[in-house]
Structure 1
Amino acid sequence: MHLRPVGADALLLEVDSPLDWFAALDAERSAGRLAVVDIVPGARTVLLDGVPDPAALAARLRDLAIDPAAVPHSPPLVLDVVFDGVDLPFVADHAGSSVAEVVAALTGTELTVAFCGFAPGFAYLRGLPWSVPRRPTPRTRVPAGSVALAAEFAGIYPTPSPGGWHIVGHSDAELFSVDRTPPALLTPGRTVRFRAA
């Protein structure tokens, strides 16, 4: 673990397993043993924001042991997906598989929300059996609900936006709503399974 101060009241942890650290730190906060405003996991980091005493917390974190086996796991959230994406043939060719085999792999794999970003409700889902390069030229508009792949991640676009990921299907899941707590359907650490609709 490597710790870096960020501004006057935040710490950035560079760690090997950000989700395990996120879960453990969130449990510490829920139990009242960690005073921070926000805990934000990234691909290789965890940001602790709103830290009253960053130096004291840094010293405490160096002694904190993280046990991945102790991280609670909820049942996967099943999302219906229509696999009709324009880039399915490219993904199949890149994976050395047929379109049917790609769909079987996507529906047979449990994915995990590694972190969120890009847009409210957009989750980076890790666990794909292969990696897919980003498109050489991003699309200027990707429809809301598009299920897409890039690098080692899958994601679902919550709103229409530009995007450089390969579209493999679409889902009607409401990924973000200000009337829900939490507003995002997919939060870090959540497991997800796609079901062919």
Structure 2
Amino acid sequence: MGRHPGPRHADVRDVLPGHDVRPRAAARAGGRRDRQPRGRGARARRAAVARHGVPVPALSLQRGAGRARVTAAIGAGPYSDVIRRRWRGPRFRGELTGANRVAEDVNPLCGDRVRVMLRVEGDAVAAARFVGDSCAICTAAADVASEMVEGRPARRGAVAVPDVLEALQADIRPTRMRCVTLPVSVLDAALGDGRAAAPAARSARP
């Protein structure tokens, strides 16, 4: 069986409805493949989303394909138009000249890595950029968070997870919530005591 040419990157894949960005597990002998465990229903999804400060009344309960789903009223599916647009053409990705606040972190479970760079002037964020190797949701969340923080006070909590989720306009499953919280937590670290001595992350390709 032939191999696809070139290296594989976490966010260099087409996003199609009903498909995850991450590759599926390899098939076992006998033709069966490992499957990701199903969620524990609407209650587990609502609880997981609520932990990040999203009001539970803002979610609507829907039934489909034999299992319960909780869908954000503002979005439809995990890959909204906002995520697709921000993933394919992020506006705030790239190195930042004169950055004086830098932080970086990685999600060991999926390999997403994000580095956030800020230029703080006085008490406000004058500019923000990010680089990294991450999935579509994480890349879009980093781009949204970078845009939101510009012009805001340079202190922790300047950008909150619920604000980013609302901007993404997507139904983010609890198992993918870390894709959103990772760039927000890295941004928060940069706003705190980030230093420019952090190693550069590999830039993700569009």
TM-score of the superposed pair, with normalisation by structure 2: 0.22
Would you tell me which structure has more helix in proportion to its own residues?
2
Would you tell me which structure has more strand in proportion to its own residues?
1
TM-score of the superposed pair, with normalisation by structure 1: 0.23
